[in-house]
Structure 1
Amino acid sequence: MFHINLLLYFCFVIKLCFKYRLFFAFFFIFKIGFAQDDFHNLGIKGTFHHGFIAPHKPLVNEVIKGHTQIFELSLYKNTVGERQWEQYFNNPKIGISTMIINTGNDESLGKAFGILPFVEIPLNQWKIKWNLKFGFGVGYIEKPFDRETNYKNLTIGSHFNALIFVNSLWNLPINERFNTSLGLSLTHFSNGSLKRPNLGINLLSVNCGIGYNFGKKKQLVPFNEVNKEKKWNSFVAVSGGVKEIPPIGGKKYLVYSFAYQWIKTTSNKSGFGGGTDVFYNTSLEPLIKRVQNEDKGTIGNFRFGIHGAYQLTLGKLTLQLQVGGYAYTAYKDNGNIYSKLNSRYFVSDKLFLNLSLKTHYAVADFIEYGIGFKLK
């Protein structure tokens, strides 16, 4: 099962390896400051990934039979700094990717497919650019768990799943139209405990790609930094979700949450803060009876937590990593620490849509969907 700390560790290792080792090697081979004042505004790219399923849990070994291959086709827009956030993030690519995946196990997993919007951010301004591409969307597994016909697949219990993708890559422009890349990626499938089993699938891959730019040429907008006011903002959000608890094929339970949060803007790109969470998880009452042999009644469904948060702001979209601890929980089996990978899309200056993945260590708790409001 995916856990956000695994993703952060993966990105951190890639950053250390490339930033402090390979950067200096490329420094002496290619000149710094590769200049280009205009760009074709659209592009298409094909990428081939070769890798393996990472056995993050012992049961995952049951579905690992061979190497994996991913065929990725991306359509993207080259931003030129027309919006302020684009300039802060070195004029990233934004687009949508489709994937066809050979899982290496046609018998238990079959083929997999995915589609996801993404952003690809340059982390330097050299001729060979080090980019970080990430996105999340929808994935489809051809052969999920089936008690009678596919009982060996204990990783995924549903056809449709959340798809999370991260690629740390080097990008080399050949000319104004063609570019190539070499990278290391993580592709994750999980249904957030909507249907058991849900250990999740993590694909680690090396990849290479070739892209072609087309469309109208646009001039790069001169950098014009407008510093955001460094102040505290407060937010409220209400969300809900559905989860299934063991045994496989069991009853589904509703989950509700309320969050109040403070975020301090510390730069044009990011901020820090914290908040409080109230969860009402209707699956906890039967779990407390079954696992702890106690009867807490409906009060056992409540959990109260306090969390810290780091936020990235990309225009109307904000991405947050939250790590918290329970001030009260009657159910003890999954510990007192929780985390959230949270995204918010502002449909107006105040109103936003909320999507989060909540986890405990290496186990997803649930996916929640909601709405929120910026108070000040």
Structure 2
Amino acid sequence: MRFYLIIFLLLFSHLTHAQFNSRLNLESSYGFIIPHSPELRPFAQNNPYGFNLNFQMMGLSEKKWSACNCFHYLGLQLSHYNFSNREILGTASSLSGTFEPSIWRHPKWTFSVLTGMGVTYLDRVFNEKNNPDNVFFSSNLSFLLFLTPRLAYTLNEQIEASISLSYNHISNGGQRQPNKGINFPMLGFGISYYLKKDRLPQYFRLDLDKELSFFLEGGLTTRRSVEQEARRPTFSLVLGAVKPLSAINGIGGGIELNKDYSLSVNNSRLEALMPSPYIAHHFLFGRFDFSQRIGVYTQKPIGYVDNLFYQRYILKYRYFKNLSLGISLKAHGHVAENIDLRLGWAF
């Protein structure tokens, strides 16, 4: 018992003297469901509601600042959403990692963008006999992705009030079908309580390198093969370029080669090779790069998808000067296809 007490006191002492701010944020939210395909329209009248509890820490050292050229929070979020249709859609309970950079600050006001990804448990999913109408998701364990612009007002030294508008997406990343995924924007009202709050130091933003740079990127995931009823690998290889335009914005483009071994072919595996040129927008926060790509298929197997275009959303973190790691979500319109891991090398 004494051993654990000593460990706790040492940890508490370290946290007390460390250079960081910490806070708890409790938020309630209310929204609607986007019916992105005809069979989902009956559910558009449902209004999801729920709450988020977020614990966040902001490093105040210059090293932490330089990671994204801004002050930012990293945290863990617990959330619970009720989709207002207990029998068919049920509820979602999630645990997510969050990243929230501060975009604009005023003595009383702060504008930030909270992003996150996590694992969610769905208590009502598709079942051919008992729940055939729920084509949103078919796996109890799925993924939650969200993007939340937030405006906060300081009430006193320890309390902030905030209003936010979030876009949330839940799907299983193509791990099991049906998997239409559910997209639900929500309006939120929250209160933040600071456990530790010091004055923010002043650092100067590094000069922006506006030169065009090139990178090589690989992606890997698996998808279920309909013919073999087993998971097969999906590989991506990207040659791209990015050019910063401002402190946080950039544009880019390139070509992605995607090889999906879960797709059926007639004569050769080359039929499942899909070359796709793309254009992209980049949010640049120091070592973080959140990009949104729109690609066009120049070739795809017969019966794959009807869409000519696809989107890919990528969050990467540059660990060293050239090496970056990240994740990406591929989607056709509002329908998510898969989530993969990304490894990149900048030239």
TM-score normalised by length of structure 2: 0.84
TM-score normalised by length of structure 1: 0.78
Higher normalized contact order (CA 8 Å, seq sep 6+, divided by chain length): 1
Q: Give the whole-Å Cα distance in 1 for the aligned partners of 2:23 and 2:96.
A: 16
User: Aligned to 2:294, which of 305, 323, 344?
Assistant: 323
Instruction: Give 1:163 shift.
Output: 0.9
User: Aligned to 2:148, which of 157, 167, 170?
Assistant: 167
Letter in 1 for 2:36: H
Tell me the secondary structure at the aligned position of residue 269 of structure 2.
helix
Instruction: Give 1:166 shift.
Output: 2.2
Q: Which residue of 1 aligns with 2:189?
A: 208
User: Aligned to 1:261, which of 207, 227, 240?
Assistant: 240
Tell me the secondary structure at the aligned position of residue 223 of structure 1.
coil
User: Aligned to 2:217, which of 216, 237, 247?
Assistant: 237
Q: Which residue of 2 aligns with 1:119?
A: 99
Letter in 2 for 1:57: S
Q: Is the 8 A contact 1:284 1:331 kept in 2?
A: no
Tell me the secondary structure at the aligned position of residue 218 of structure 1.
coil
Q: Which residue of 2 aligns with 1:12?
A: none
Q: 1:226 to 1:317 in 2, by over 3 A?
A: closer
Instruction: Give 1:125 shift.
Output: 2.9
**Alignment RMSD, CA only?**
2.7
Instruction: Give 1:259 shift.
Output: 1.0
Letter in 2 for 1:134: T
Q: Which residue of 2 aligns with 1:224?
A: 204
Q: Is the 8 A contact 1:193 1:245 kept in 2?
A: no
Q: 1:169 to 1:156 in 2, by over 3 A?
A: same
Q: Give the whole-Å Cα distance in 2 for the aligned partners of 1:351 and 1:142.
A: 39
Q: Which residue of 2 aligns with 1:291?
A: none
Does residue 356 in structure 1 map to residue 336 in structure 2? no
Q: 1:360 to 1:205 in 2, by over 3 A?
A: closer
Q: Give the whole-Å Cα distance in 2 for the aligned partners of 1:322 and 1:360.
A: 12
Q: Which residue of 2 aligns with 1:371?
A: 343
Q: 1:185 to 1:354 in 2, by over 3 A?
A: closer
Q: Is the 8 A contact 1:87 1:223 kept in 2?
A: no
The answer to which of 339-348 and 127-136 deviates more is: 127-136
Q: 1:130 to 1:237 in 2, by over 3 A?
A: closer
Instruction: Give 1:40 shift.
Output: 7.3
Tell me the secondary structure at the aligned position of residue 175 of structure 2.
coil
User: Aligned to 1:104, which of 78, 84, 100?
Assistant: 84
Q: 1:67 to 1:267 in 2, by over 3 A?
A: closer
Q: 1:355 to 1:298 in 2, by over 3 A?
A: same
Instruction: Give 1:151 shift.
Output: 1.6
Letter in 1 for 2:104: N
Letter in 2 for 1:200: G
Write the deviation string for residues 131-181 of structure 1: whole angstroms up to 9, x where unpaired: 332222222211211222222211101112221112233311110101111
Q: Give the whole-Å Cα distance in 2 for the aligned partners of 1:241 and 1:110.
A: 29
Q: What aligned pairs does 1:146-185 form with structure 2 within 5 A after superposition?
A: 146-185=127-166
User: Aligned to 2:258, which of 276, 279, 303?
Assistant: 279
Q: Give the whole-Å Cα distance in 2 for the aligned partners of 1:285 and 1:72.
A: 42
Q: 1:87 to 1:61 in 2, by over 3 A?
A: closer
Q: Give the whole-Å Cα distance in 2 for the aligned partners of 1:263 and 1:140.
A: 37
Q: Is the 8 A contact 1:284 1:300 kept in 2?
A: no
The answer to which of 149-158 and 218-227 deviates more is: 218-227
Instruction: Give 1:66 shift.
Output: 4.5
Instruction: Give 1:197 shift.
Output: 0.7
Q: Is the 8 A contact 2:166 2:187 kept in 1?
A: yes
Does residue 53 in structure 1 map to residue 33 in structure 2? yes
Instruction: Give 1:47 shift.
Output: 0.6
Q: Which residue of 2 aligns with 1:35?
A: none
Structure 1: which 5+ runs fail to align?
Answer: 1-38, 287-294
Q: Is the 8 A contact 1:64 1:105 kept in 2?
A: no
The answer to which of 259-268 and 67-76 deviates more is: 259-268
Instruction: Give 1:304 shift.
Output: 0.8
Does residue 308 in structure 1 map to residue 279 in structure 2? yes
Q: Is the 8 A contact 2:136 2:180 kept in 1?
A: yes
Q: Give the whole-Å Cα distance in 1 for the aligned partners of 2:161 and 2:46.
A: 27
Letter in 2 for 1:175: N
